[in-house]
Amino acid sequence: MPDGDLVVAIDCSTTASKAVAVDAGGRTVATARHSFPVLSPGEGRFEQDARAWWTTTFAALHEVVESVGGERVAALTITHQRETFVCLDGDPVRPAMLWMDKRAGSQLERLRAESIHARTGRPADLTPSFYKLAWMADEEPELLARSTRVGDVSAYLTLQLTGRWASSSASADSMGMIDLSLGDWDDELCRLAGVDRRVLPDLVAPGTSVAAVLPEIAETLGLTPGTPVIAAAGDGQCAALGAGLVEPGDIYLNLGTAEVCGTLVTDYQWHPEYRTVAAAAGHGFLLEAFLASGTSLVNWYREEFGSTDPDELDRLTQAISRLPAGSGNLVSLPYWLGLQSPAWDERASGAVIGWRPSHTRAHFYRSLLEGIAFEIATQIDVLETASGMTGHRVLCTGGGSRSVVWTQIVADVLDRPVVICDEPETTALGAAILAAVAAGLHHSLDDAIAAMSRAGVVMRPDPSDAAVYRALRSIRDGLYSILRPTFHALSALH
């Protein structure tokens, strides 16, 4: 293993690939980012050219390694968008289907079963790859039959870097075909999805070396020959680790493209209201609740009804900061991409209630932020009931955590302090922590977390605003049940 003092984490998200060089103190030394598009070839369909994951990753790596010097890089590691998958026959046989793709509704209805949730930790929801692979088996059987490799984003990038078809067990679990209690592919689920398990990636433990970077890739990037790629985990698990989630009972909150919150438990458990995933530490599990509409919904609103001009966005942010809590009793249900935890209703859709002539676009914008915050409150209630522990820290990460207005709203709705993680690249930091231990920069995971993960500012609830939100929540919490028949009737129209 190279004798470097840095690790480089690759973070291949829904919209971009980043390379982040991190030292043993958790400080970002260099970073580069290259974007790629999300394609939508039809209603509810979301895809990407998987080759763009590699070209953007390679470009970002090249910039970072050139900046810091390849001799300083002790290891690479990969974290990534979860549930997205690619099918290969040398090259991709079709565009990769993203986690937010909704085309497999009939397969979900046919295959939904409590026994599947019990084994995989994944509720009957369109997010996992499992149902979309079943869709391919029904609708594109010739493409699935041609596929000699089927895997997650980590497996694809690992293949390009090392030539080995392998993925972390805490990455591939998002495909929804791993028996979490056994830590291995489930033969029955592979059969139901129409996939031969021999085309799936080898599973390796988080924090272990997968393989060395291919000599020709290392030479082009300027890396030391033999630089290893260390298995990490999906972006949610890495964000939790980077936030410093090590104590059962603490909650991590990721305000990313999707909003995710979770808590750590020692033993495997599952329940219809949340999903269970393998923890990045290589032992234990995360109980997760999430809403697919996170910053993606916020960005959509700003693009469609606001402006992409930075000055205009600043004015809009200032305007919502001056509005009272509750947005003038304007209530939003942010089910832009359906409702996930705890009801798992793909047919739910967004709603805005209480619209009056006095409301402005700033009221609508603030109401969306409040709507997501109310969903977070419900999710935390579910997770704390499941874990049996309440009142612990809320550790906030993700792009949305940089918004003072939004995080203050979250603190007020929760009526508890919210700790903002100091490092904005928390997901990459979580992967870097695993790589730093594997590369010998730290003796243990506990040592690495203590040295590399730091809390930042604490958003404390305003008592008067918290009281407003308590009253509003008592009304809002009943709206989904009332509107559910309407959501389903509207969904049936098309």
Q: Which of 415, 316, 310, 422 is nearest to 368 (CA)?
A: 316
Tokens of 110: 């046919």
Contacts of 385 (CB under 8 A, 6+ apart): none
pLDDT computed for residue 276 by the predictor: 96
Interval 39-66 mean pLDDT: 97
- Say if 238 falls within a structural domain: no
Q: How far apart are CA 386 and CA 411, in angstroms?
A: 22
Same-domain status, 254 and 222: no
DSSP letters, 173-202, are GGGS-EETTTTEE-HHHHHHHT--GGGSPE
pLDDT computed for residue 212 by the predictor: 98
Please list the residues that pair with 458 across neighbouring strands. Answer: 419
Does the CA dihedral 171-172-178-183 come out positive or negative? negative
| pLDDT at position 117 over 90 | yes
User: Over the stretch 136-167, which tens digit does the pLDDT of each residue have?
Assistant: 999 999 999 999 999 999 999 999 999 999 99
- Say if 324 falls within a structural domain: yes
- Say if 294 falls within a structural domain: yes
**Sheet with 251-255, side-by-side order of all strands:** 275-278, 285-291, 259-265, 251-255, 394-397, 418-421, 455-459
pLDDT computed for residue 192 by the predictor: 97
Same-domain status, 288 and 333: yes
pLDDT computed for residue 228 by the predictor: 98
- Say if 1 falls within a structural domain: no
Same-domain status, 223 and 249: no
Cβ(203)–Cβ(243) under 8 Å?
Answer: no
Q: How many structural domains does the chain have? A: 2
Average pLDDT, rounded, for the chain: 95
| pLDDT at position 309 over 80 | no
| pTM for this entry | 0.90
Same-domain status, 24 and 109: yes
pLDDT computed for residue 246 by the predictor: 83
Q: How far apart are CA 44 and CA 61, in angstroms?
A: 33
Supply the CATH number for residue 207's domain: 3.30.420.40
Please list the residues that pair with 185 across neighbouring strands. Answer: 178
Cβ(174)–Cβ(147) under 8 Å?
Answer: no
| pLDDT at position 307 over 90 | no
Percent of the chain with pLDDT over 90: 87
Same-domain status, 218 and 248: no
- Domain of 123? 6-232
Cβ(326)–Cβ(469) under 8 Å?
Answer: yes
Interval 387-406 mean pLDDT: 89
Same-domain status, 175 and 46: yes
β pairing state of 209-212 and 184-185: unpaired
> Kindly report the CA angle at 149 between 207 and 88, in degrees rounded to 5?
115
Same-domain status, 228 and 277: no
pLDDT computed for residue 313 by the predictor: 77
User: Over the stretch 5-19, which tens digit does the pLDDT of each residue have?
Assistant: 999 999 999 999 999
> Which of the four pLDDT bands, split at 50, 70 and 90, describes residue 26?
very high
Q: How far apart are the first and last CA of the chain?
A: 56
Same-domain status, 197 and 75: yes
Among 169, 200, 232, the domain-final residue is: 232
Contacts of 294 (CB under 8 A, 6+ apart): 254, 255, 256, 257, 258, 259, 260, 372, 398, 400
User: Over the stretch 409-464, which tens digit does the pLDDT of each residue have?
Assistant: 999 999 999 999 988 889 999 999 999 999 999 999 999 999 999 889 999 999 99
Same-domain status, 352 and 432: yes
pLDDT computed for residue 305 by the predictor: 84
User: Over the stretch 273-286, which tens digit does the pLDDT of each residue have?
Assistant: 999 999 999 889 99
> Which of the four pLDDT bands, split at 50, 70 and 90, describes residue 311?
confident
- Say if 239 falls within a structural domain: no
Cβ(153)–Cβ(129) under 8 Å?
Answer: no
Same-domain status, 425 and 400: yes
- Say if 32 falls within a structural domain: yes
- Say if 23 falls within a structural domain: yes
Same-domain status, 135 and 163: yes
pLDDT computed for residue 283 by the predictor: 86
> Which of the four pLDDT bands, split at 50, 70 and 90, describes residue 377?
very high
Cβ(35)–Cβ(56) under 8 Å?
Answer: yes
| pLDDT at position 35 over 90 | yes
pLDDT computed for residue 314 by the predictor: 82
Q: How far apart are CA 463 and CA 415, in angstroms?
A: 8
pLDDT computed for residue 306 by the predictor: 73
- Say if 377 falls within a structural domain: yes
pLDDT computed for residue 302 by the predictor: 84
Among 185, 212, 232, the domain-final residue is: 232
| pLDDT at position 494 over 80 | no
Residue with tokens 């305000």: 255
Among 232, 267, 283, the domain-final residue is: 232
Percent of the chain with pLDDT over 70: 100
> Which of the four pLDDT bands, split at 50, 70 and 90, describes residue 390?
confident
Q: Which of 283, 301, 394 is nearest to 352 (CA)?
A: 301
Same-domain status, 374 and 296: yes
